[in-house]
Amino acid sequence: MPITPFTDKLPTVFSLLFLTQILVACGGSSGGSDSAVGSPAPGSDDEPIAEDAAFNTAVGFNVVREPGARLPVTETDPEITEAEFALGLPEPIVQVPDGVDTSTNTAPFFENLQNLTVNAGDIVEVVYLPRDGEGELPGMFPEKLPQGSTFDDNFDGSKTFRWQPLQMDVGILKFTVTALDPANSLYRTSQPILIKVELPADLSTIPNVAPTLDEVIPHTVKVNDPVVFELKGIDLNGTVPTLEIPELPAGATFNQHPRFEEVFVLKFTPASVGELSFDVLARDSVDNTLTSVESVSLTVLAEDAFERPGLALKTLGANRNVKMGFAALQSFYHRPDGAIYASTAAREYDIVTPENSMKMDYLNPEPGRYQFAATDNLVAFANANDMTVHGHPLVWYRQLPEWVASSAVSTRETHMREYITRVMGRYADSVPIWDVVNEPINSDGTLRESVWFEAMGAGYIDIAMQHARDQSAEATLLINEFDIGFAGPKFDGLLTLIDGLQARGVPLDGIGFQLHLFTSYDQFEELRANFAAVASRNLDIYITELDVSLSGGAGTAEQAEVYRQIVDICLQQERCRAIQTWGLTDQYSFRSIFDPLLFDRAYQAKPAYSSVQEALAGQ
């Protein structure tokens, strides 16, 4: 699909041009914009197609995939321009924590650093020796080491960065080292250097290195469940390695991915319990004698290892008129443990939110280009398991595609309306609940500046809610917000917003309380009062993104107690309709370092699971 930038000056000419290009590119798809400044609607070339079962673990529903060979758009660091490089060494960034007197304690610093221009194949060595005005020796750490580089201690206060950039690294890279003040480690100086990597005239001077396998994390699966591994080869010379498995597990298939040539997919069904491991060999495509081998391992547990006493959460929830749910990891059926992920979710839950696949940057990464497969699959999974799908989010200030973030202000209302129309339209029969506006409020209670606010002012919320209602008379329409589980200006701001919307007759059915908490959370009475304030406005309450991160040395027992109280408060509030955790297992939580969920990395129920069960059962 062609990408044509829209400008304020030439809307008609551009959209006409665009339409012709689309028709040519799609061979007469239904694509076309419903406004002079709009972006093309999805066409038939955006329609997902069936995926071969060899590539996924799905049981009970059929997986579809994106049709074309186009790569997904992923977030990348902003490019550094030649002009920025020419400005010389970037200024250091100094962080001064409260209580530091900079007149008596000067910030740590580096000397003798400069930007570098090197050829691919050269070996770069930079010695970092941080200094401190008070004569002590500062500590230091690198920010993001480029692939294949090292940062080694010289045991004299200095460290050496060593890197041999290759073809993949051509361009300008920023490498940052942070020095820590010896008296206060939060007093820091971050010093970037820019490294420009060019191709040498004689390409044969660049060494050909052995390819490697991209990192594979440990997984736990259930015996007799299908397992898939998406294995990705990496060659820093920029070529595509071939992957081989010398001893394929019994009955396994091993196929190159239909869209990503560097990915190979292994599928097999482990038939016995235990630790399983196999070698994967990556072979260079230029010199086929150049290889590397890495071992991939897997823990296979017996069926009864996943049995849990008591009734499923959804059964207990149904008795109390509350839906129980989770946010689904995008494409869980492409993960090694996808089958146990799916069966755990299907047993426990009757409502699900896509964690990422309905966000605008993913769903509509470029004008006229849509990626529906992940959401279509989630809907199919939900239908196969009697789950309600909770759509999330239609209008948000984050995870926006670049084309929207940089669009002309005058076009944004059209983009917002089109997006709502298209997404709600496609999922009209499958998604009855929507987070229409996500996170609109600042911590001081004012409305957040966003691309939408910038274009439409406060009215963007009215427009979005009304437009969503125009798409569906029956859907439940929510505003979803974080940090509203306690009293304060943010919650007051939410009430002001609600009161204004209601006074203006703007449709709103409920509030989503995210509730990303820590074990130190204890504002239960404030939460109860906030629920009551929302309910008194004739609105429903959805707990949309509950998780309780372990903090301050607390353990899973304290975590269980916070979960219990939250469930109790929901049950005591008759307008509380659903409790959804943000994720299913600590393995894939967006806060996985804090183990915040009900299931651990091996899909074992944690104490919090039992406390939620007990609370739902009224015990």
Of the candidates 572, 56, 126, which has an alpha carbon nearest to the alpha carbon of residue 321? 572
Six token digits for residue 35: 């406004």
Annotate each residue in 479-508 with x if it binds ligand XIL (CB under 6 A) or - if it does not, as one string: ---x--------------------------
Six token digits for residue 361: 């940057």
Residues 533-552 that bind ligand XIL (CB under 6 A): 545
CA distance 211 to 353: 38
Helix axes 607-616, 556-571, angle to 10 degrees: 20
Residue 355 binds ligand XIL, judged by CB under 6 A: yes
Residue 581 binds ligand XIL, judged by CB under 6 A: no
Of the candidates 556, 573, 554, which has an alpha carbon nearest to the alpha carbon of residue 612? 556
CB 427 to ligand XIL: min, Å: 17
CB atoms within 10 A of CB 406: 10
Six token digits for residue 453: 């606010």
CB 395 to ligand XIL: min, Å: 12
Q: Which DSSP symbol is given to 186? A: T
Q: With respect to ligand XIL, which residue has the nearer C-beta, 41 or 378?
A: 378
Annotate each residue in 52-91 with x if it binds ligand XIL (CB under 6 A) or - if it does not, as one string: ----------------------------------------
The three-class DSSP label of residue 518 is: strand
Q: With respect to ligand XIL, which residue has the nearer C-beta, 230 or 355?
A: 355
Q: With respect to ligand XIL, which residue has the nearer C-beta, 371 or 438?
A: 438
Instruction: Give the bridge partners for 481, in sequence order.
Output: 513
Q: Which residue in this structure is represented by tokens 């607390």?
A: 554
State the residue number with the nearest CB to ligand XIL: 590
Q: Which residue in this structure is represented by tokens 């093309």?
A: 40
CA distance 8 to 453: 19
CB atoms within 10 A of CB 192: 20
Q: With respect to ligand XIL, which residue has the nearer C-beta, 164 or 514?
A: 514
Q: With respect to ligand XIL, which residue has the nearer C-beta, 23 or 405?
A: 405
Of the candidates 424, 426, 498, 513, which has an alpha carbon nearest to the alpha carbon of residue 467? 424
Residue 81 neighbours by CB under 8 Å, 6+ apart: 172
CB 479 to ligand XIL: min, Å: 11
Residues 465-484 that bind ligand XIL (CB under 6 A): 482
Q: With respect to ligand XIL, which residue has the nearer C-beta, 268 or 341?
A: 341
- Total residues at interface with ligand XIL (CB under 6 A): 7
Of the candidates 77, 131, 133, which has an alpha carbon nearest to the alpha carbon of residue 101? 133
CA distance 449 to 460: 11
Is the separation of the CB atoms in 174 and 96 below 8 Å? Answer: no
CB 409 to ligand XIL: min, Å: 24
Six token digits for residue 173: 């890279």
Which residues are marked as active site? 439, 545
Residue 157 neighbours by CB under 8 Å, 6+ apart: 129, 130, 137
Q: Which DSSP symbol is given to 150? A: E
| Binds ligand XIL (CB under 6 A): choice among 590, 594, 600, 614 | 590
CA distance 330 to 402: 21
| Binds ligand XIL (CB under 6 A): choice among 15, 237, 438, 450 | 438
Of the candidates 560, 593, 590, which has an alpha carbon nearest to the alpha carbon of residue 328? 590
| Binds ligand XIL (CB under 6 A): choice among 15, 356, 375, 611 | 356
Q: With respect to ligand XIL, which residue has the nearer C-beta, 493 or 512?
A: 512
Residue 580 binds ligand XIL, judged by CB under 6 A: no
CA distance 231 to 236: 16
Q: With respect to ligand XIL, which residue has the nearer C-beta, 92 or 325?
A: 325
Q: With respect to ligand XIL, which residue has the nearer C-beta, 43 or 493?
A: 493
CB 72 to ligand XIL: min, Å: 14
Strands, E, within 329-445: which ranges?
Answer: 351-354, 388-391, 433-438
CB 544 to ligand XIL: min, Å: 8
Handedness of CA 77, 79, 83, 86 (dihedral sign): positive
CB 613 to ligand XIL: min, Å: 25
CB 588 to ligand XIL: min, Å: 9
CB 356 to ligand XIL: min, Å: 5
- Chain residues binding ligand XIL by CB under 6 A are 355-356, 438, 482, 514, 545, 590
